[in-house]
Structures are given as C-alpha cells and as structure tokens.
Amino acid sequence: MSWTTLPGRGAIAGAAIALMIAPAAAQTAGPQKPRHPAVCAAGVRTYSSVAEVPAPFDSLTLPPGPPVRVTNPEEAEAAERNIRAQAGSVGATGLVVIEETDSDPTGAMRVRRRVLPVFVPSDSARAQQACRH
C-alpha cells in the first residue's frame, strides 16, 4: 500500500501531503487485558469504514500514544506497519481506518487517519495463518 492510497481508494494529489495517524476514541480507563490472541502485523486486515467489518466483531482499544506525522513514503510504510503491529498486539484481526482530507490556503493537502482495531471471530484463522508465513 502506498502512503497516499488505501485499498479501493484513489490517490491524493497535492503540493505537499502530511499524514497523521492516531487511535480513534482511545479509552483511558487503564490497561486492557488482551481478550484475543496476538496477531502479527501481516495478519491485520484494513477496512475503510465500520460498515465493511463483518459481523459480529469486537471493538478493541489501542494503548494511548502520540499522533504520528508522516511526510514521505518511507515514513508512511513504517507508520502503517507500526499501527498494524500495535493493533495486532491487542488481538485485532482488522483495523478500521477513517480518513479525513483537507487543504490549507497554500494548497498543501493534509490527510488525517484515525484507526479503530477490531477482532472478527470469523477472520481469526486467516489472520493467524498470515502470521505463519
């Protein structure tokens, strides 16, 4: 996946692009015990909306962390691997990526992505199999 596209989405054009990735609606009630087995980053599937996630599913919580600023393709790939690994560490088989794009008066584009990790029971065998390769 490139730094300016998501599966099924077109590329974003602009003079400059900044990408911010942050957990969506992180809860601060304390550490959450994993309810599901950990999944490697390769086993975490990406969805562009909650409506795409097969039912039933559990919404999970990522540990709180700072937003990540991405300004080039290499940083974007590293940030994506990192967020998938974080999601997998809490047992997520999927990651809902909510993307918002805006531009400033100079024409520079800014993409903000909020993420929500999800566990889909019917997808857990696929996720674990992806981690064996």
pLDDT along the chain (133 residues), means of 10: 34 41 48 76 95 95 84 90 93 93 85 90 95 87
User: Which contacts of 62-67 are long-range, i.e. CB under 8 A and separated by 24 or more positions?
Assistant: 62/23, 62/26, 62/86, 62/87, 62/90, 62/115, 62/117, 63/26, 63/31, 63/90, 64/23, 64/26, 64/28, 65/22, 65/23, 66/22, 67/20, 67/21, 67/22
pTM to 2 decimals?
Answer: 0.70
- Confidence at residue 104, expressed as pLDDT on a 0 to 100 scale: 82
Neighbours of 89 (CB within 10 A): 18
